[in-house]
Amino acid sequence: MQAYISGISHSAVDWDSRPSIIVYFAGCDFRCQYCFASEILDFREEFLRNLKDVKAQLKPLSYSAGSVYFTGGEPCLQKPSLTELARFSKSLGLKTGLQTNGSNPNVLRLMLDLNLLDYVSLDIKSPFDENVFEKTTKSSNFFKPTGDIMDSVKESLSLLKGNKKLNVDVRTTIIPSIMFNKEHILRIASEIKGIGCRWILQQFQPNLGKLTNGNMKELNSPSQGFLENLKENCLNAYPELNIEIKTDRFNVLSLQELGTPS
Ligand code: SF4
């Protein structure tokens, strides 16, 4: 079996600061304008690897890591290799985490049913409003309109609800001129309030990597004060929410190794 994997690295910053092995699946069905992994969004031949080789690389790394984190790109687009690597990681005694944009609820459901996941980080990139969602994700295509994609993400969100065995984060990036206003954030808050997750408001950072829309490099990051204000507004409306603000340079270590599969 083969998989499009752009890199494998060690990081202590992606998943709750635990030492993790990070596996980057290449290919994504979204084209978020602010995406800093723009160089791995296509299924390019240079990323194609035999799973046997990937497993051989994971095994020694597992001696010094407690977990493996599948990210991308969008890992759920490669169901057979993702489930196989999750199974293999479990057999090595690793905890398993998945970051997903939620567009493939059937893959998420399968992995949950098979007990292949300990942690899920789901991106809720915008409120479920077609205009804002499409502006943020640039995800619609001839076969799948924005409304259908949003329904898939909603389904993924509902799969996480009330799952006591699972650690769940929801992530939303606050991006000037695209996804920043209070009403939008409050609408997301109302969607996730019953999930029992930690909600991470991520600061857009223009210098983390090559952005899908290069013009966005000119934008400033929203300030800490601005993010605190959004958080406060959400907590006033929904005090039960567990909200964290993330402004550090997440993924930096791993990003340096992107595109250099070994
Ligand atoms: S930020 Fe958007 S385009 Fe980039 S990997 Fe995530 S879902 Fe795909």
pTM, two decimal places: 0.91
| C-alpha to C-alpha distance for 185 and 262, rounded to whole angstroms | 40
pLDDT at 198 (0 to 100): 93
In a 3-state reduction of DSSP, which class is residue 143? Answer: coil
Task: Choose among 198, 214, 212: nearest CA to 246.
Answer: 198
Q: What is the mean pLDDT of the chain?
A: 90
| Ligand 1 atom with the shortest distance to the CA of 31 | 3
Number of residues that this document lists for the chain: 262
Amino acid at 47: F
| CA 220 / ligand 1 centre spacing (Å) | 20
- pLDDT tens digit sequence for 49-62: 999 999 999 999 99
Torsional class of 218: left (φ above 0), alpha (ψ -120 to 50), beta (otherwise):
alpha
> Higher confidence at residue 255 or residue 207?
207
Provide the 10 A C-beta neighbour count for residue 130.
14
Residue closest via CA to ligand 1's atom 2 equals 32
The CB of 85 under 6 Å from ligand 1? The reply is: no
Contact 77, 24 (CB under 8 A): no
Give me the residue label for tokens 């059937």: 106
The CB of 74 under 6 Å from ligand 1? The reply is: yes
Q: Which two tokens stand for residue 23?
A: 């596996």
Instruction: Answer yes or no: is pLDDT of 75 > 60.
Output: yes
Mean pLDDT of 121-134: 96
| Ligand 1 atom with the shortest distance to the CA of 73 | 5
Instruction: Answer yes or no: is pLDDT of 250 > 70.
Output: no
Instruction: Answer yes or no: is pLDDT of 172 > 70.
Output: yes
| CA 241 / ligand 1 centre spacing (Å) | 25
pLDDT at 251 (0 to 100): 43
| CA 160 / ligand 1 centre spacing (Å) | 20
Residue closest via CA to ligand 1's atom 5 equals 73
Could you tell me the residue ranges of all domains in the chain?
Answer: 2-171+249-255
Class of domain 2-171+249-255: alpha beta
pLDDT-derived band of residue 115, with 50, 70 and 90 as boundaries? very high
Instruction: Answer yes or no: is pLDDT of 17 > 70.
Output: no
Contact 218, 261 (CB under 8 A): no
pLDDT-derived band of residue 260, with 50, 70 and 90 as boundaries? very low
The CB of 26 under 6 Å from ligand 1? The reply is: no
The CB of 75 under 6 Å from ligand 1? The reply is: no
pLDDT-derived band of residue 16, with 50, 70 and 90 as boundaries? low
The CB of 138 under 6 Å from ligand 1? The reply is: no
| C-alpha to C-alpha distance for 185 and 174, rounded to whole angstroms | 9
